[in-house]
Each structure stands twice: as structure tokens, then as C-alpha cells.
Amino acid sequence: MSLSQQQDRQHCFHPFSNYHQLNRDGARVIVKGEGIYVYDEQGNKILDAMAGLWCVNLGYSAKPLIEAAQKQFNTLPYYNLFFQTTHSPAAKLAAKLAEITPAKLNHVFFTGSGSECNDTVLRTVRHYWACLGQPQKQIVISRDNAYHGSTMAGASLGGMKPMHAQGGLPIPGIVHIPQPYHFGEGQGVDVEMFGQQRAQLLEQKILELGVENVAAFIAEPIQGAGGVIIPPDSYWPEIQRICDHYGILLIVDEVICGFGRTGEWFASQTYAITPDLMCLAKGITSGYLPLGAVMVSDRIAQVLQEHDDEFTHGFTYSGHPVACAVALATIEEMEKNHLVEKVRNDIAPYLAQKWLALAEHPLVGEARIKGMMAAIELVENKATLKRYNKTKAAGTLCRNICVSNGLIMRAVGDTMIIAPPLIISKAEVDELIQLAWQCLDQTY
């Protein structure tokens, strides 16, 4: 075991890692990143088809981001936005975000992460209704198998059962409805009808709880960590109709989907959603530094500002100047290289064509993709789409085979998922797909 592995084993308490596997094998030590590849201590070159944790959209060698950080470190390495203070990187980034996000989102509350964004929206929507004289309007409706982060509010808003099993979650006032997961839960039902039905469960839940008690609905446009669950086209229009009809605030968690992943700057544009609040993180800095941003609509910002002297909420690293400078450089780099257009018109269609062909593999029951996020479902029986009995068995095996073949794919149960850096070239897509076939063959 290397020194890093020994120190890690003795002292690192890992997020989302299997203790037994860690103790048996030691952690994989990543020493370098270059383009879309990472390198481990043994010198293995690994194609990172997950862009780290869905964040390194510009790959590991984006010089302008590094230079922007260096420049900002030399000027003002830290300051905050508390107590009537600001600085130019935060102000400039806020203006830029207001420009590129959907029209009514013109106010930004900076955080340090996606989880902090979701804590922030929970407080914001509850406080908003209290300001309007409806303090009982507190419940936020979310979805089973959603992921909204790991803080108490984030994990409660999320619908991950294994997370709720630890630490007394969810906190009160959060309820979940089923997800629009056609392959997993809608077999035999027409896809679009299924999308409608799943959206209408929101309406049923609002009526059951009483509209006077419901503050908001929160969702990822495409569920990421839940297994790249791409909703049927009928789903979002119906959700939007229901939120509009009942006057329920719509919170869109674009922590994964934002910044080009679906072929538009934001998935709200892909699905024609008009959110009241939007959570951003990850791709905002291409993962180079921690930063989150909650986009707040004019209406909500106005109500909050008119009601109180201050919003008693904030984080030491809300609007960290170096993170903001890197975010500005990220957006600038994406604009300069027309990256979103390239994703939409060129690389995502190319990846889709190759990825969807994986459905031919005897182990694959479904292949699906939207923009640059994709999944395949591993099945025991391709004809009946029966899954393996022991959940996780095939997915974990396939994931481990992938890593030893030089490919990072993620396993969510028996669903294999990817979200590669947006800068991936066609030749690298070919390599990714060739490795995926090889690993499926070895898993089969």
C-alpha cells in the first residue's frame, strides 16, 4: 500500500464509499488530470466518463480557469458579501448569471455547494410565504430517488432511501411523490401516458395536503444521481401547468443539468420550464473550485426585500472571489468556444448515435441519453427485461471492470451512467464506446 493509501486508510472518513472495499483494497489514488483523463498512482490512464462528479465540464486542463484563479488570488484571495459588502468578481458573476439564466431569474444568492443551495431554497420558499401572510404554507414536495445534496435539508429534499435511513431524515415538512422512471416503474404503460400520470401525482398530493399548506415543488430536470432518469416529454409541461394553476413555487435543481449538459445553457430551456428558483453548482466552475448559486425570481426577491431588513442566512464562502473569478472564466470560455452549440449540434448527437447502439448488447435492456448524460440498464433477460435478483451485483461488477479497463462509469444499482466532460472529442467518444462494449462483454 502506498503512503497516500496508508494515510487515507488511517485518517480519511470517506463520503459515499464502501468501508469493506476501502479496507480491503485501499483507495484509488488519483495524481493527475489531463483533458478528459485522470491518472492514478500506478500510472494508469483512465477516461473519466463521469467528469469527476458531473462537474469537470471543461476537462482537467482548462488553462484560462487556472489563470483566472491565479490572478484573483494575487488581487483579493478572500472576501465575503456579508454586512453590506461586495466585490467585483461576485457582482460581475451575478450580472452574468442573470443574463444567461431564464428571464425572470435576476437575483443570485451565492453558496459554496449544491447542498447549500438546497438549504437556501428551503428557507427561502418558507420565508417567502410567511412574508405574504401564509406561514402555514411550509411543505415542499419532492420526489422519490431525487438527489439534492447531503446536508440535512438537501438529503431530506432528496428522496434517497439509504440516506433517509441514517441520521433521522427527512426533516419535517417535506414529502415525496414517485419519479418519472419509465424503465424501472412504468413497464407496459405508454411512455407519454406514464409521464402524464407521474406528473399528475403532484396535483393529487397538493390536493391531499391542501394547497394552503404547500410552499413549493422541487425537482432535477433530469434526475442525475438517481440513474439519469430522463422524464417523458409529457412530464414537465404537466408539472408546469400544475404549479402555475395552484400557485406553487417551482424550484429547479440544475446542479447537474446546468451549464450546457443538456445542450442548452440550462435544462429549464431544454424542457421549457419557467422556475421561480434555480440551484446551480458543479459546472459553474467546471468543478475547479467550490461554488453554488441560487437564482431567485424578481417576485420572490422583491417580497423578501420589502418584508424584512435582512435575510438571516449566509455562508462564509458565499461568493468567494476566487471561485467567482473561475466561474466567470468558465462561462467566458464556454461562450468563446460556442461550447453549448457544439454540444447541441455536434458532440451530443454523435455520442447519442453510438451510445444508443449499446442497446444491442445482450446485457442491456435499455439505453437512453439526453445531451451529455446517458444510462444503460443491465438486465438478466433481454427479452423480458427482467433484472438481476441481487440488486447492485451486475452494476458493481461492471463498474469495477470498467475501472480496470481504464474507464470511469458509475453504477446506480444495475444502471450504468455517464456524464463526460463537454469538451470530449469524437475520437474520445469512440474510445469511450469501445471501452464500454469491451467492459459489457467482460461483465456478461
**Residue 158 CB, nearest distance to ligand PLP (Å)?**
8
Pick from 87, 148, 344, 399 the residue near ligand PLP by CB under 6 A. Answer: 148
* Distance (Å, whole) CA 124 – CA 443: 47
Asked if 113 touches ligand PLP (CB under 6 A), the answer is yes
Q: Choose the binding region for ligand PLP from 6-14, 97-105, 141-149, 424-432 (rule: CB under 6 A).
A: 141-149
Pick from 97, 214, 222, 256 the residue near ligand PLP by CB under 6 A. Answer: 256
All cell numbers assigned to 437: 462494449
**Contact (CB, 8 A) for 173 and 214:** no
Task: Specify the pairing of strand 37-40 against strand 45-48.
Answer: antiparallel
* Distance (Å, whole) CA 278 – CA 106: 11
Pick from 214, 250, 281, 422 the residue near ligand PLP by CB under 6 A. Answer: 281
All cell numbers assigned to 302: 422583491
Task: Specify the pairing of strand 373-378 against strand 37-40.
Answer: unpaired
Distances (CA, A) of 328 to 69, 308, 321: 10, 31, 10
**Dihedral over alpha carbons 60, 62, 67, 68 (to 10 degrees):** -100
Using CB under 6 A, count the residues that bind ligand PLP. 16
Q: Write out the E strands in 146-224.
A: 174-177, 214-219
Sequence-distant (≥ 6) Cβ neighbours of residue 427 within 8 angstroms: none
> Of the two residues 251 and 439, which places its CB atom closer to ligand PLP in the complex?
251
Asked if 231 touches ligand PLP (CB under 6 A), the answer is no
Binding mask 209-228 for ligand PLP (x = CB under 6 A): -----------x---xx---
Q: Choose the binding region for ligand PLP from 165-173, 181-189, 252-260, 334-342 (rule: CB under 6 A).
A: 252-260
**Residue 399 CB, nearest distance to ligand PLP (Å)?**
17
Name the DSSP class of 311. Answer: -
Asked if 147 touches ligand PLP (CB under 6 A), the answer is yes
Q: Choose the binding region for ligand PLP from 146-154, 170-178, 211-219, 349-357 (rule: CB under 6 A).
A: 146-154
**Residue 113 CB, nearest distance to ligand PLP (Å)?**
3
Pick from 253, 377, 428, 431 the residue near ligand PLP by CB under 6 A. Answer: 253
Asked if 260 touches ligand PLP (CB under 6 A), the answer is no
Asked if 268 touches ligand PLP (CB under 6 A), the answer is no
**Contact (CB, 8 A) for 191 and 159:** no
Residue with cell 489531463: 34
Residue 279 has phi, psi (to 5 degrees) of -100, 130
**Residue 224 CB, nearest distance to ligand PLP (Å)?**
5
**Residue 192 CB, nearest distance to ligand PLP (Å)?**
25
Sequence-distant (≥ 6) Cβ neighbours of residue 442 within 8 angstroms: 401, 405
Residues that bind ligand PLP (CB under 6 A): 53, 113-115, 118, 147-149, 154, 220, 224-225, 253, 255-256, 281
